[in-house]
Structure 1
Amino acid sequence: MSKTSKSPKIMKDSTKISLVSLIVLLYAGLHGIYKIIDSGFFDRHYIFTPEKLHALALDSIDKHGNDTRALVANIITTLQADPKIAPYLSVKEEWMFNNAGGAMGAMYMVHASITEYLLIFGTAIGTEGHTGRHTADDYFHIIQGTQTAFVPGSYEPEVYPVGSVHHLRRGEVKQYKMDASCFALEYARGFIPGMILFGYADALTSTMDVPTMWTTTRVTGNQMIGNLMQGKL
């Protein structure tokens, strides 16, 4: 009795159908997430606001504009002094590399939960890459250096100097660049788990930096789970 096998054409068609199904499911999932965010369901779970964080960044720049380390310390100390926010903040300053969208920098996770994250991100030597297309609004408060960005169809760069905020709206995408040393207080609000795959993609397909992946997973996971146990989505 001869064994039967699928023809190459049938296998190829099956692969196409599976890929299309995956894309449809992904789109449906993202559409559902966007609808939930638009409904205002997440609003009551936010503990930060872009406006207050911008004011904090400006105040810290005014006090310590020539000393980035002191500037960051002022931001963290001020946040920790707020009894409504302090219980949800990291108790340890722990820096780690981050590779995403072809860009490389370092980050210090200040807060991570299902609906928000707050971190210090930057590099002392410059970088460039893809912002990613996310399920959260991202507010990049520049505290040192300059960031530029580009969108297709534009002939001029967007320029974000110290004290400005680069707001990447959820679902949008840009090319971004830091020519030299640049650091920011980065705040994202929306569905944070939807951003995780982008954050790991370069590490899984390029750098294979297992220790950094583990540190990122441990720090982010501990904060998300810890905050969830306190009732913070």
Structure 2
Amino acid sequence: MAGALGVGLLSLALSGCFYANTSQAPIATTYPYSEQQRMQAAHHWEILARHEASQILQRERVRFRDLHIKNPHPDGYIPYSGGEFDRGFRTFLTSELVTRGANVTTAAGANSVDVIVDVEIVEHRDRGFIRPPTGAFTALTAGIAVATIPINHWAEPALGLIPAGIAADVFSGSWTYTGNEEIIITTQVVDGDRILYSSSNIYYINGGDRRQYAPQRVHYPDPAIPLTDTW
């Protein structure tokens, strides 16, 4: 009885100390676990175009309108200016909409609405610690534990690495590094000053692929200045 009373008083005292503590700034915490895909193949552009075409044609206000996929560069592209995603995604989106029976036009008309695609690059310059993928520590420790078994039971200790390799093959297919480069891809259907449809998706990208999405934000080195003789 006395022991239970002591535990209760101790719990009450600790809870009082907890609420008495204060902080001059909010304590940093994390968001719930979530996943975000990495876009690093033209096939991924096709998958996104398929998704957007399906979503666009589900909107009653858009379904029976003529769709004009607007070219952000009406005067054409500068040779080797980049922006492969812009050209590729609009091509995929056109194909997906036509396949689904949509009325896609090459020029704006009286019954048409504009389909606009916008890409925003996000570059993180000072990220803190990022937790490894779920299961990383489990797979690693399991591999280490299994690798010690053959020392006593198997003739060849190196065979102990086989279970660890299997575990790596099972888990590593869904792992990729987080990186500091992200893109926000927004697809909108616009009728004059009215937005009839809007969808935004976020992906990680490889740092070297920035030119595919935002060539205007890639800095190229200045061309070398040829040396000439002064005498």
Q: Which has the larger radius of gyration?
A: 2
Same fold (TM over 0.5): no
Instruction: Determine which structure has the larger strand proportion and give its number.
Output: 1
Scaled by the length of structure 2, what TM-score is found? 0.22
State the TM-score, normalized to the length of structure 1. Answer: 0.21
Bigger relative contact order, structure 1 or 2 (CA pairs below 8 A, ≥6 apart): 2
